[in-house]
Structure 1
Amino acid sequence: MANEHSQIEGQVKRSSFRQFEFVAGLMLCGTIGMLALISPLLFPDGGQSVNLLARLMPPLQSSEYPLGADPLGRDILTRIIVGGRVSFTVGILSALGAVTLGTVIGLFAGYYRGFADALLMRFADIQLALPFILLAITIIAIFGPGLDRIIILMIVSQWVQYARLVRGSVLSLREREFVQAARSYGLANSKIIFRHILPNALGPLIILMTLNVANNILLESSLTFLGLGVDPRVASWGGMLAEGRNYAQSAWWVTVFPGLAIMMTVLGLNMLGDWLRDNLDPLGRTRL
């Protein structure tokens, strides 16, 4: 009885923790994402209004600048909200592009196998051997910085993990009874792949994509901080960190608040990813 009681308590705690993860992650990402989505309506100037009289104004000194002002007298809160649009755009579009390309390649390689499978997987191995920062410097040096270049760079560097994940699932699923039955009915390979195999491989893909959105937001901020990301004239979290690094001691708010925005967004996405893993992948559930 005592053992059963402890098991029930453990299940209740795990369930409560998973619900907390979902609610907290959704609130963090939903709030920041919604503000970023409607930022063009809230701030038509894109956070570029300059007021040199308010230069490096500390937080809570004025209702007009609740989080303070940057070295050019621009409102930090406004630029954080506007900058979130860039981060979410890069994170979501790059993850969608990578998952689409990687899924198609993984389905093709895993289902047909043979020479095509070997060739694609060797190409994937070469891709994995390339350091990301070297690839980033090469692409930016050739094509120049920009939002579209960053998205393409992340798609090129991340499709491999989706392709390998899907291929592994397909190699297992293609020998299952329901796939064999579909073949015996004479269904075309394309219908078998997209109607029967792909739906059974979606769970791990969704989890990985959620976690990669968070990772891509960090990568975009890091590249922009290094001068390899979006145009410096566009408000972005990484650009705000780069602008404020020379004022870290005298005006801490210039870098701390954009850093907190990045941390809260990534934390929320990771919490949602953990919740999805617990619900879509029972074998990989979080243990308390």
Structure 2
Amino acid sequence: MLATLETSLASRRRTSLWAVRNVELFVGLLLTGVMVIAVAFSGVLFPDGGESMDLATRLMTPFTSAAHPLGTDPLGRDVLARIVVGGKISLMVGFLSVLGGVTLGTLVGLVAGYYRGIWEMVLMRCADVQLALPFILVAITFTAILGADVYKLIFFMVITQWVQYARIARGQVLALRDREFVQSARAIGVRDAKIILHHILPNALGPLVVLITLNVANNILLESSLTFLGLGIDPQIPSWGGMLADGRTYLQTAWWINVFPGLAIMVTVLGLNILGDWLRDFIDPTGPM
């Protein structure tokens, strides 16, 4: 009877955890989905790109006009429009930089982990050098030499973040390269490239997928921070970091210029982090799901 009671309690616990995880998934999809959909249709919602100026309505307070529900900035531009349009740049930087970083890093990690020897030594020492470079100093140098541009910022993020993917991919490959299914494929003459892509890579994707989700959120914050410091996107291009930089001199007189872009960043990053946590638990074979 005691064993039956313990089994019942364990089953209820798993059911409760499963329900909580489903709520996490719903909240994460809701927070992220609303922002992504708004950004995707920004051209339809705001054809002017948030650039229309009306000095007669400058610094209008939020919730006082249906035309400008979140108020206006010092040039009379609609804050809501600039948040939605600026989100396109921030999300593009976040997703494309992670896509480039995971592609380069995973390739390096697969080669280093599978072939070992000189390949592993050279590639991993390059990774160590990359980790030893001070990030802010590299960012300042990179911006001073190449200038501020969306695609240059994406390239900068890729070359500074591929290392973490390479290390994780290498660790997964080292754990898989001597498994029975890999040895069997090698014994029947399957080429190395096919073994890596069809046998090892699918089994190594779990931790990489979770890291991708979390790093998209991190790179959105990073883009906003670098742009705020003048090291990221051109100030003439609407972005969340640029809006924060533009509004910092109006914190006491026009708080909404900073608060609402900050909330947009927070909601998007929170949604992505929740999805990352859910995905980690979903992939983990020992987890409650």
TM over 0.5: yes
Q: How far apart, in 1, do the equivalents of 2:288 and 2:5 lie?
A: 24
Contact 1:204 1:281 in 2 (8 A): no
CA distance in 1, matches of 2:174, 2:10: 36
In structure 2, how many angstroms separate the alpha carbons of the residues matched to 1:286 and 1:140? 46
Q: Which residue of structure 2 aligns with residue 276 of structure 1?
A: 279
Correspondence for 1:180: 183
One-letter amino acid of the counterpart of residue 234, structure 1: I
Choose from 8, 16, 21 the match for 1:5: 8
Mapped pair 1:46 → 2:49: yes
Question: Which blocks of at least 5 consecutive residues in structure 1 are unaligned?
Answer: none
The number of residue pairs the alignment matches comes to 286
> What is the TM-score of this pair, normalised by structure 2?
0.96
Q: Aligned partners of 1:109, 1:101: CA distance in 2, in Å? A: 12
Name the amino acid aligned to 1:59: P
Name the structure 2 match of 1:222: 225
Task: Name 2:197's counterpart in structure 1.
Answer: 194
**Preserved contact between residue 241 and residue 255 of structure 1 (Cα < 8 Å):** yes
Q: Find out whether 1:157 has 2:160 as its counterpart.
A: yes
1:86 aligns with 2:89: yes
* 1: CA distance, partners of 2:134 / 2:273: 24
Asked if 2 retains the 8 angstrom alpha-carbon contact of 1:65 and 1:76, the reply is: yes
> Which residue does 1:56 correspond to in 2?
59
Show CA shifts across 1:111-141 (max 9, x none).
0000110111111011011121111111111
8 Å CA contact 1:223–1:229 kept in 2: the answer is yes
What one-letter code is carried by the residue in structure 2 that aligns with 1:235?
Answer: P
Give 1:2 shift: 4.1
Q: Which residue is equivalent to 1:137? A: 140
- SS of residue matched to 1:47: coil
Could you tell me how far apart the structure 2 residues matched to 1:25 and 1:132 are?
A: 30
- Describe the SS at the equivalent of 2:275: helix
Aligned equivalents of 1:169, 1:128: Cα separation in 2: 20
Moved over 4 A (4+): none
Cα distance in 2 between the residues matched to 1:189 and 1:252? 59
The match for 2:267 is 264
TM-superposed deviation, 1:263: 0.2
Number of the residue aligned with 1:110: 113
How far does residue 6 in structure 1 lie from its aligned partner after superposition? 3.0
1: distance between equivalents of 2:12 and 2:263?
35
Distance in 2 (CA, whole Å) between partners of 1:115 and 1:124 is 14
CA distance in 2, matches of 1:66, 1:2: 56
The amino acid across from 1:199 in the alignment is P
Q: Identity of paired residues, percent?
A: 59
Q: 2:105 is aligned with what amino acid?
A: G
User: 1-side partners of 2:132 and 2:8: how far apart?
Assistant: 50
Would the aligned equivalents of 2:101 and 2:161 in 1 still touch at CA under 8 Å?
Answer: yes
Q: CA deviation at 1:8?
A: 2.3
- Amino acid of the residue matched to residue 112 of structure 1? Y
Q: Over aligned residue pairs, what C-alpha RMSD do you find?
A: 1.3
The equivalent residue for 2:38 is 35
Tell me if the contact between 1:25 and 1:272 (Cα under 8 Å) persists in the aligned partners.
yes
Say which is worse superposed, 131-140 or 253-262, in terms of deviation: 131-140
Q: Structure 2: any 5+ residue segments left out of the alignment? A: none
Preserved CA contact (<8 Å) 1:274 1:286: no
Corresponding position of 1:14: 17
Instruction: Kindly report which structure 2 residues correspond to 1:114-125, keeping only aligned pairs within 5 A, or say none.
Output: 114-125=117-128
